[in-house]
Structure 1
Amino acid sequence: MEFRLLGSVAIVTEGGDIAAGPAKRTSLLAVLLLRPNTAVNVTGLMDALWEDEPPTHAKTVLQGHVSRLRALLAAHGAEAYGVELTTQGSAYLLRMPESLVDAHRFEELVGLAGTQRHAADSVRMLREALSYWQGPALTGTVPSGPLEAAATALEELRLTSVEALAEAYGKLGEHGRAAAVLRTEAVAHPLRESLAAALMTALARAGRRSDALDWYHRTRRLLAEELGVDPGVALSETYAGLLRDAGAVLVPAPAPGNIASP
């Protein structure tokens, strides 16, 4: 038994994925998985399960979801994996080995990648970490503030990890791979200047200076049209470096050691 947060929230068993149930029950599971072995009080859970003001019967509804989730876990042998949903006064706690949660394994690998002395080891760990992602984090939960904030933090770490993977590829001289990794994310996040700057760096070092310049002008136009702003320092200096030198770029992607957990 394992648990997924990096994609559709689910209980993963040998027989396949098991959905927790309706959105509120899925959200309950997500909140508890985000804080394993930590008591989460009823107020915090209600804030996560109801986007607006919780109804008067919210505690009763929450208790019902807890009971059904507890039964679902028991039905799939959770006890054998050291997983137990317990009540502690006015709080609930999901006691479990944290390694059963994909988000925990992802963050752990990202942290380890940042401590490696050899770029090849960083590449291996970051690739494994990113392989846990099967879609947007916390898919299937209600659109509440606490859960959206958690999903945003996980996505930020994912993007930072992609930039770190490209940096590690660059250290190995595999600039084409670095550009391929970055381009996918730069297309999906066209206003993220750090991605654009890193992609320009990789493209230039791969001998594609013209493409790197084109990417700068594309990003500059989007920033002006969407946000009404000029490129920031990192992007501007990367562009200036391209103009000064046909093969060198001043601003690399963030190093794996600079990655911070959400």
Structure 2
Amino acid sequence: MEFQVLGPVQVRVGGEPIDLGDRKQRLVLAVLLLEPNRLILLARLVDLLWPAGPPSSARRIVQAHLSRLRTTLSRHAPRPAAPTVTRRGPGYMLTCDPDSIDVYRFRLLVNKARDSDDGRNKVDLLRQALELWRGPALADVASEEIREELCRGLDEARLAAIEERFGAELRLGRHGQLIDELTELVARYPFRQQFAAFLMLALYRAGRAAEALTVYARTRQRLDAELGLEPSADLQRMQVSILRADPSLALRADPATALRSDPSLALRAGQPAG
């Protein structure tokens, strides 16, 4: 049994999706899956299903959703390893193998990538992690307000993993292959300045310094017009380095293992230069 919340909420058995009921019932399951093997208060489930105020029958409705989910899971999964929904005092718990949940596997793969000192392995692990995403988490069960409450940290983790993947691929000398993807990301996330920095570096290494400086100018203009901000100090340093044709921007001789020593890629949050 495979649980998926990184996109539309699904449960697959033998590769085929099973019927999980209506939207509210799938949201209840998604909340349990985001914190497997941990108690989720019934009151919290009620608040998430009816953020504008619950009906008087809300608790009974949620309990009915949980009962149907328990029946569905037990019918499709072999015992004794079947995931179970159990009542524990003021709440409910989904007991299952975390490895059966795409969120858990995503985080595990990202952590393995961060521990890897091999550039190609790092990229492979990050690609595997990001391929688990089939769209916005909880895409078909939650309003944007509820999705933001439940998935804000998860969305940020995805963007951070994308940044790490591009940083690792640039160290491998794949700048020419990344320009189109980075151009799209800069358009989609115009205030995520790391994407702009990576695109500038990729263009510069591809012999397109003028275009790299245009990316900076457009980013600066949009930041000023829409947020009243200047580019970050890191992005400004990237512009100055390009203007000076700084040797530190050149690809390192052994990019496959130079994971933490390339100052031109040290703009990624949490990675020091040198």
Q: Find the aligned partners of 1:40 and 1:255 in 2 and give their Cα distance.
A: 35
Task: Give TM-score scaled by structure 2 length.
Answer: 0.86
Q: Find the aligned partners of 1:78 and 1:223 in 2 and give their Cα distance.
A: 54
Q: What secondary structure, in the 3-state scheme, does the structure 2 residue paired with 1:198 have? A: helix
Matches within 5 A, 1:40-79: 40-77=40-77, 79=79
Contact (CA 8 Å) 1:160, 1:254: kept in 2 or not?
no
Query: Cα offset for 1:13?
Result: 2.0
Contact (CA 8 Å) 2:137, 2:147: kept in 1 or not?
no
Deviates more, 1:227-236 or 1:110-119: 227-236
Deviates more, 1:116-125 or 1:224-233: 224-233
Distance 1:68 1:78, change over 3 A: farther
Q: Find the aligned partners of 1:256 and 1:101 in 2 and give their Cα distance.
A: 27
Query: Cα offset for 1:125?
Result: 0.6
Q: Deviations over 1:110-149 (max 9, x none)?
A: 0000011110110111111111111111111222756423
Give the structure 2 partner of residue 206 of structure 1: 206
Task: State the percentage of identical aligned residues.
Answer: 36
Deviates more, 1:247-256 or 1:18-27: 247-256
Which runs of structure 1 show a deviation greater than 4 angstroms over 4 or more consecutive aligned residues?
246-251, 253-258
Query: Cα offset for 1:59?
Result: 0.5
Distance 1:80 1:182, change over 3 A: farther
Q: Find the aligned partners of 1:82 and 1:126 in 2 and give their Cα distance.
A: 30
Q: Deviations over 1:231-250 (max 9, x none)?
A: 12122221121112176546
Question: Equivalent of 2:265, from 244, 252, 255?
Answer: 252
Matches within 5 A, 1:19-58: 19-58=19-58
Correspondence 1:171 to 2:171: yes
* Count, aligned residues: 258
CA RMSD of aligned residues (A): 2.2
Contact (CA 8 Å) 2:73, 2:82: kept in 1 or not?
no
Q: What secondary structure, in the 3-state scheme, does the structure 2 residue paired with 1:86 have? A: strand
Q: What secondary structure, in the 3-state scheme, does the structure 2 residue paired with 1:106 have? A: helix
The residue type paired with residue 265 of structure 2 is P
Give the structure 1 partner of residue 259 of structure 2: none
Give the structure 2 partner of residue 153 of structure 1: 153
Q: Find the aligned partners of 1:48 and 1:239 in 2 and give their Cα distance.
A: 45
List gaps (5 residues or longer) in structure 1. Answer: none
The residue type paired with residue 7 of structure 1 is G
Larger radius of gyration: 2
Deviates more, 1:84-93 or 1:218-227: 218-227
Q: Find the aligned partners of 2:269 and 2:236 in 1 and give their Cα distance.
A: 23
| Larger RCO: 1 or 2 (CA < 8 Å, sep 6+) | 1
Distance 1:170 1:37, change over 3 A: same
Q: Find the aligned partners of 1:182 and 1:135 in 2 and give their Cα distance.
A: 18
Query: Cα offset for 1:217?
Result: 1.6
List gaps (5 residues or longer) in structure 2. Answer: 250-262
Query: Cα offset for 1:196?
Result: 1.1
Contact (CA 8 Å) 1:78, 1:84: kept in 2 or not?
no
Correspondence 1:90 to 2:103: no
Give the structure 1 partner of residue 220 of structure 2: 220
Q: What secondary structure, in the 3-state scheme, does the structure 2 residue paired with 1:3 have? A: strand
Contact (CA 8 Å) 2:248, 2:264: kept in 1 or not?
no
Matches within 5 A, 1:80-159: 81-143=81-143, 147-159=147-159
Deviates more, 1:182-191 or 1:124-133: 182-191
